[in-house]
Structure 1
Amino acid sequence: MTKPILLDEQLCFSIYQAHKVFNHFYAKALEPFHLTYSQYIVLLVLWEQGSLSVKSLGQEVGLDSGTLTPLLKRLEKDGWVTRQRSKEDERRLDVSLTDKAKQQKDVIYAHVGSCIDAIGLSNDQYNQVKSDVERVQKLLSNVPDTTFAKN
């Protein structure tokens, strides 16, 4: 018989708990800008890459269109992005930053960056934790779904 892994020994539970704490952390950090974490990561991608199609944006942030569409509508309503049909392909909806979003970029970067400093990790520690989490993510994504199929 396999020895069960107790809850406080579970890596998945540690990651789950860290995820919850990060959500709270970013909710507070982004509150002055009236942004959610999901909206923030969309803005990050657009600041880094410029205008993108909804499909490309969804791939970058790991959100499906059912989640991304209402998020983009809210960002548009609040003046952060515009959505418009592509001139090259009318089936494609492109997302672009507004002047407001471009003007707020450095302010948001500085504010969130100062919050990250509050965690108290050195750059080396930060990079190590990030690398370890990315490694776990890659290992998990390489496990085939059939691993858990019943015989």
Structure 2
Amino acid sequence: MQNFLTLDNQLCFAIYETNSQFTKLYSNVLQSFGITYPQYLVLLALWEKDEITLKELGERLNLGTGTLTPMIKRMEANGWIKRERMISDERKVAICLQEKAINQKDDIHQAIANEVIACQIDLNEYQLLMDQLKILQNKLTIRSSN
């Protein structure tokens, strides 16, 4: 049991280290586009569903408005997104993609895909890892809600 308590045998540390490596990999690729990794996550969410409220975006990314608002302002200043009053309810503001984000979507996706391939992660392995991480995430979510 004592061996289990070493740092190298901790799943949480392995996930932490892997996350750090992924963030570094993505950040290096995204730098050429002038966006950060968290900004890329915003774009991913908006590419899935454009024109959503700040609250919806925060829920989708699991980020609070204190983190999200300054990021949205920077992205708006850099021409990636814009904020507009919703037609259905003018009290709400929608976050919308700008042409820059729409036009560079394929280039960004291709650059990320090239880096993942360069790490020698094939499609089957990628899907297996995703499946395993989703199972783990669900278990942790269930545990934290009890």
TM-score by length of 1: 0.89
Alignment RMSD (CA, Å) = 1.5
Aligned amino acid, residue 143 of structure 2: V
CA distances 1:37-68 after superposition (whole Å, capped 9, x unpaired): 11001111111212111111111111111111
Which residue in 1 is equivalent to 2:77? 77
Residue 71 of structure 2 aligns to a residue in which SS? helix
Equivalences for residues 1-150 of structure 1 within 5 A: 3=2, 5-144=5-144
Bigger-Rg structure (1/2): 1
Residue 33 of structure 1 aligns to a residue in which SS? coil
What is the CA-CA distance between 1:145 and the residue it aligns to?
A: 6.2
Distance 2:144 2:114 in 1: 39
Aligned length: 145
Aligned amino acid, residue 57 of structure 1: L
Assess, with a 3 A threshold, how the Cα gap between structure 1 residues 83 and 127 changes in structure 2: closer, same or farther.
same
Distance 2:42 2:103 in 1: 16
Distance 2:81 2:66 in 1: 18
Residue 8 of structure 1 aligns to a residue in which SS? helix
Residue 84 of structure 1 aligns to a residue in which SS? strand
Distance 1:117 1:62 in 2: 28
What is the CA-CA distance between 1:115 and the residue it aligns to?
A: 1.1
Which residue in 2 is equivalent to 1:149? none
Structure 2 gap ranges (5+) = none
Residue 42 of structure 1 aligns to a residue in which SS? helix
TM-score by length of 2: 0.92
